[in-house]
Chain A
Amino acid sequence: MSLRDLLLSRPAMAIRAKEWAQIWLDPSTFGLVILMPLILMFLFGSAVTLDVRATRTGVIDLDRSSASRDLVGAISHNAYFRVVEQDSVAAAEPALRSGALRGFIVIPDGFERHLVTGSAPQVQLVTDGSQVNTATLLAANLRGALRSWAEARSLEQGAREAGAIGLIPRYTYNPGLESRYMLVPGAIGIVMAMIGSLLTALIMAREYERGTMEGLLATPISIPVLVFSKLLPYYVLGLASTAICVAVAVWGYGLPFRGSYLGLFLISSAFLAAVLGQGLLISAATKNQFVSTQFALLSGFLPSLLLSGFLFEIDSMPVAIQWLTYIVPARYLIPPLQSVFLVGDVWSMFLPNIAALLVFGGFFFLRVTRAIKRQIA
């Protein structure tokens, strides 16, 4: 089979024309290709943020001294907290239970007395542990606030030098600490995974469900040509979606684009080859649109969102799940995609990932042609 057969033979062109006509006649495909990227880019650019600002925090000052008032003032002015003063723990408790507060700080009686005598006074923080991430960040932010308050206070009182060992962080590629820079490229991966697996999951199942598959198989077209020609239009749509995403990311959200379009094109093509093949295999194997979409969700969209390392660090997952991430194509997409925006063309990292994705693509392609062939026999 030559490339000519795959691309330019009459049956190939006929199937492609038919697929294009079907896409053209159904506005929902365009809805997915154009609307989905816009919705997702908006959500990941503007709604989803992992930064915790202005956490609703109760403060109970039982000391009522000048030192404790000073500390309450410092916390109130800190952008990480939105302080609500409470009289007692009994008053704060229902607020924490209903979710009106995410935590409360208790400054115990004797706070100033301890401070003056030079022994470290206690400050208590009670968090809403049901919101694990917020609770962790609340504690870290309060720790930071207490430290800078203590340092400022000791400088005021004439101490020579603040903290003995300081950590000076420098963030490469993202000095402004924008969580958007991490989330938006990830969102592009999600869009591609979705378009790739969901659209193709429907196309074969539809033919089977409507009974038109036998008609297709009765034509003299060879199976690889059929599969390839069915995929090609969706590959073009996937690339179009990616282009929309990149445009929104760069012009709408001001992400830098430090790599080359060639790099981006190669990575996206390799990833699309993998997910399109995956969707088509699901479609050919299940032959039912409902089952097929459920499988596409289960094996395409959700793993891309949850197991690709884009939202949740792979290193932090249980070991068995870490192994599982190796068979999630999105795992090989996210690092090069983030790099092509923030770092540049890191070919030494791109090429192994592209190779892995192409292996996935080839494997799925072979499986699909086999799955279809078996039926004729």
Chain B
Amino acid sequence: MNGALTRILAMALKELAVVLRDRRVLTTLVASPVIQLVLFGLATTLEVKNVSLGLVNRDNGVASERFLAVVAGSQVVGKIIVYPSERALAEAIEQRAVLGGLILPSDLSARVARGDEGKIGFLLDGRRINAAQIVQAYLAEVAATAGQSLGIGPVEPRLVIRNWYNPNLDYSWFTLPGMIAVITTVLVLSVSVQAIAREREFGTYDQLLALPIQHWEIVLGKIAPSFLVGLGNGAFYVAMVALVSDVPFHGSFAPIVLAIAAFSLAVSAIGLAISAVAASQQQAFLGGFLVIVPMILLSGYASPIDGMPEWLQPIAALDPLTHLLVVCHGTFLKGMSSALILGHIWPMLLVALTFLALAVMLLRRRSN
């Protein structure tokens, strides 16, 4: 066993030297993730604010005045552009100059004053359905409140909302901890997929086979650089986001680093399995890409898992990234307990073991 350990260590050191030797690679490993974290962490917001709307106003009464005052003062709506006709409005929507347009009929205030329901038309761009629906829900609320302030309408329960863990629903509190997980995935997978494919491309893999070293020892040694890159970078981002950004850090450092370690191991194992079948670096990179994209999209980062079809949700639960995301959000915002975090670590370890075994099996089969 001691011999095996020495061999794995030697293999790991050699692998690390290969990755760390190239200055450009090193710069890429450090600079690119930091840029991604900052840039995309700030940009990715599903929050909708500052949208341009069109307006065709045929009513000059108190109802439209009350309604428009609230609309103009809100954060959701930015510019309001007045159009002479519904046709001009429809054209502006087609050109994407505005997200939608409000059409206030000439009898709006008169109807409201009589006690009838006033109807405001709202034409929206169906191409931008997400933003359109959010703006529509918001304006429906504004319309109802404006109506109530004019003293009509049924008694309605008053909704008092409290958002735990993120009182102001600051979107960067969601994206920044999430970005840690996403970037670590990309980094670990890109490093691990080339481990064996690179040797094949340069023809040095045969030499490796000539050494007195077992397949599983190769795999464990090969996993070292990507595992360490993932662990080091992941821990660094956690510290960076906790210290530099205004996202609170309610949990403790040790459990989240443990989770990042388990995650790096799992993703390295997946990368190594790809590398074991790839004949060249190109194949390895492209194979890695075929895995990264579904991993990110199924993880719940881009869209909630709750909204996915029922049969797809168990598959999303196999994605190590899903678990790391829960741990990241849980640790930063919710102060998640270590016991709960452990519940997310073992599925990642299970993925790691499965793919490590697969990688060993694939290597053994290819060399026979």
Contacts and interface: CB of A to CB of B under 8 A. Distances in A.
B and A form one assembly: yes
Interface of A: 26-29, 31-32, 35-36, 39-40, 43-44, 46-56, 71, 96-99, 102, 111, 115, 118-137, 139-140, 142-144, 146-147, 149-151, 153-154, 159-175, 177-179, 181-182, 194, 198, 202, 206, 286, 288-291, 293-295, 297-298, 302, 306-307, 311-313, 315-318, 321, 324, 335, 338-339, 342-343, 346, 348-349
B163 A129 contact: yes
22 contacts: A39-B294, A52-B304, A97-B340, A98-B336, A123-B157, A123-B159, A124-B161, A135-B166, A147-B156, A168-B122, A171-B125, A174-B127, A179-B130, A181-B127, A182-B127, A289-B194, A290-B28, A302-B40, A313-B128, A315-B52, A316-B49, A318-B42
Contact of A165 (B39, B144, B155): B144
A369 B96 CA distance: 37
B147 to A, nearest CB: 3
B117 A122 contact: no
Contacts of A294: 28, 32, 190
B124 interface: yes
Contacts of A97: 330, 334, 336, 340
A139 B159 contact: yes
* Residue in B93, B128, B174, B278 with the greatest tally of chain A CB atoms within 10 Å: B128
A343 B186 CA distance: 36
Contacts of B143: 165-167
A343 B154 contact: no
Nearest to A150: B156
Contacts of A134: 304, 306
A31 B157 CA distance: 56
B333 interface: yes
B282 interface: yes
Interface of B: 22, 24-25, 28, 32, 35-36, 39-40, 42-52, 63, 67, 78, 90, 93-96, 108, 112, 115-134, 136-141, 143-144, 146-148, 150, 152-167, 169-171, 173-174, 186, 190, 194, 278, 280-283, 285-287, 289-290, 293-294, 297-298, 302-304, 306-309, 312, 316, 326, 329-330, 333-334, 336, 340
B127 A338 contact: yes
A32 B284 CA distance: 11
B286 A32 contact: yes
B158 A122 contact: yes
B116 to A, nearest CB: 6
A295 to B, nearest CB: 7
A142 B162 CA distance: 13
Contacts of B108: 165
Nearest to A67: B157
Given A134-B304, A311-B302, A289 B127 contact: no
A13 to B, nearest CB: 24
Contact of A139 (B128, B161, B307): B161
Nearest to B22: A288
Contacts of A181: 126-127, 129
B163 A127 contact: yes
Given A43-B293, A288-B22, A120 B282 contact: no
Given A164-B147, A170-B121, A170-B122, A49 B303 contact: yes
A3 B46 CA distance: 46
B329 A130 contact: yes
Given A165-B143, A167-B120, A173-B127, A132 B290 contact: no
Nearest to B147: A164
Contacts of B50: 315-316
Given A146-B156, A163-B153, 8 more contacts: A97-B340, A123-B159, A154-B154, A165-B150, A288-B25, A290-B190, A307-B43, A315-B51
A130 B174 contact: yes
A338 B47 CA distance: 21
Contacts of A51: 307
Contact of B46 (A132, A144, A318, A335): A132
Contacts of A149: 157
Given A40-B293, A122-B158, A172-B124, A130 B334 contact: yes
A346 B287 CA distance: 38
* Residue in A43, A54, A71, A144 with the greatest tally of chain B CB atoms within 10 Å: A43
Given A97-B336, A123-B158, A163-B147, A39 B307 contact: no
Contacts of A343: 94, 127
Nearest to A82: B306
B32 A168 contact: no
Contact of A159 (B134, B154, B293): B154
B280 A26 contact: yes
Nearest to B139: A167
Nearest to B296: A305
Given A50-B307, A130-B334, A122 B132 contact: no
Contact of B126 (A139, A171, A298, A315): A171
Contact of A115 (B155, B166, B287, B304): B155
Given A35-B290, A136-B47, A164-B117, A313 B158 contact: no
A331 B167 CA distance: 33
A28 B129 contact: no
B275 to A, nearest CB: 13
A130 B166 contact: yes
Contact of A202 (B22, B28, B127, B285): B285
B94 A346 contact: yes
Contacts of B159: 123-125, 139, 142-143, 146
Contact of B123 (A131, A172, A335): A172
A58 to B, nearest CB: 12
Given A165-B147, A167-B139, A342 B127 contact: yes
Contacts of B147: 163-166
A96 B167 CA distance: 14
A32 B282 CA distance: 11
Given A120-B155, A164-B150, A349-B95, A313 B162 contact: no
Contact of B282 (A177, A206, A288): A206
Contact of A169 (B122, B131, B160, B297): B122
A133 B46 contact: yes
